[in-house]
Amino acid sequence: MNLIKRIAITGIAAGMIFSAQAKEMKVGVALSNFDLNFISILRTQMDKELKQQQLDGQFVDAKGDVALQAQQVDDFINQGVDAIILNPVDTQGVAPMIKAAESANIPLVFVNRKPEVKLPENMAYVGSDSALGGKMEMEALAKMMNYKGNVAIIMGALSTEEARERTRAVEAVIKEHKDMKVIEKQTAKWQRNEAVDVVSNWLLNATPIDAIAANNDEMAIGAILALGQSKKKNILIAGIDGTPDGLKFVQNGKMALSIFQDAKGQATGAVKVTRALLDKKKVETYTWIPYQVITSENYKNFLTSNN
């Protein structure tokens, strides 16, 4: 073989190696439920950020089923993804997924829902402090109530840390005021239509409610719809998330307040942490995205935040 041919073949081989090395890294994104409004916003922003970071994202929907999500994580590992981003269905049921990713030496980043176990190396959480969200919601609501009256709590899915922690924080604030008490407490699993049913039943039973603290905006909206159907007035409603739908109800005065949870910030942060782990950089185990109170006075500041 002459020298020119040898150089050409060597150049082609080097090009093939470079091409293989430069291939786009794959990130498996396992989300708890595509149907949830907040998760939809999270997903859209994450998709944009993955492309920005030149990562190939593959999204799967667990439909609220922890067993299905565990299988999806296993599938990602078997497919040889380079990293996994996980929004868990059950924050107490993540140990098998952590173990599987750790055994495969695949970086795992949790987003929005904090796992209730200690995270090993090569793993991280990006999201907000659930208890702080509930505390901020109830403190603002209590002030509007002049620190007296009966509060009903609509909880999210009890398999999630955020539902339990937000509820505990709401109850803790109420306990600080002698003229306030929790009169009802029930889950509506983050869903608007389930919250309609829950609140409708409370109203049919003539429960003396002065305010409703919902664990998210969708359930707060469900409460508002139930009140509208019953023609009941003078009950203050609060939510958490600051979704576009939630903001509309704050704007029209039917929702007293919401707590802004930054879906875009969480999504962007999760992808950036994933990119850093893929680049073998050291990251903080917990990245906290702050909350903010939304009222009729400042809602305009948030109109484009979670769109």
The string of pLDDT tens digits covering residues 6-25 is 444 444 444 444 334 456 89
Please check the confidence at residue 272 and state whether its pLDDT lies above 60: yes
Identify the domain containing residue 32 by its residue range. 26-128+263-289
pLDDT at 259: 98
Same domain, 199 and 252: yes
pLDDT digits (tens, 9 = 90+) for 28-71: 999 999 999 899 999 999 999 999 999 999 999 999 999 999 99
- 91 and 180 part of one domain: no
- Residue 200 in this model has a pLDDT that exceeds 80: yes
74 and 148 inside one domain = no
For residue 164, being part of any structural domain is answered with yes
Per-residue pLDDT reduced to its tens digit, 133-162: 999 999 999 999 999 999 999 999 999 999
The structural domain count of the chain equals 2
- Report, as an integer, the average pLDDT of 171-198: 98
pLDDT at res. 22: 52
What are the tens digits of pLDDT across the range 73-102?
Answer: 999 999 999 999 999 999 999 999 999 999
Is 302 among the domain residues?
no
> Does pLDDT of 1 surpass 90?
no
* Residue carrying the six token digits 């009222």: 295
Q: Is residue 247 part of a domain?
A: yes
d(Cα 184, Cα 182) in Å, to the nearest integer? 6
Same-domain status, 148 and 252: yes
Assess whether 253 and 141 both reside in one domain. Answer: yes
Q: Which two tokens stand for residue 164?
A: 């339990």
**Is position 7 within any domain?**
no
Distance CA 242, CA 305 (A): 8
Task: Identify the CA nearest to 213 among candidates 180, 262, 178, 248.
Answer: 180
pLDDT tens digit sequence for 165-181: 999 999 999 999 999 99
Question: Is 2 part of any domain?
Answer: no
Q: Do 90 and 197 reside in the same domain of the chain?
A: no
297 assigned to some structural domain = no
Report if residue 14 sits inside a domain. Answer: no
The predicted-structure confidence for 229-271, as pLDDT tens digits, reads as follows 998 889 999 999 999 999 999 999 999 999 999 999 999 999 9
Residues 122 and 179 in one domain: no
0.85 exceeded by the pTM?
yes
Q: Residue 109 pLDDT > 50, yes or no?
A: yes
> Do 176 and 105 have their domain in common?
no
Three-state DSSP at 26 gives strand
Cα–Cα distance, 26 to 112 (Å, whole number): 21
Indicate whether 19 belongs to any domain. no
DSSP secondary structure of 84-118? EEE--S-TTS-HHHHHHHHHTT--EEEESS--SS-
Same domain, 69 and 81: yes
The pLDDT value recorded for residue 5 is 47
CATH of the domain at 64: 3.40.50.2300
Say if residue 138 is in the same domain as residue 244: yes
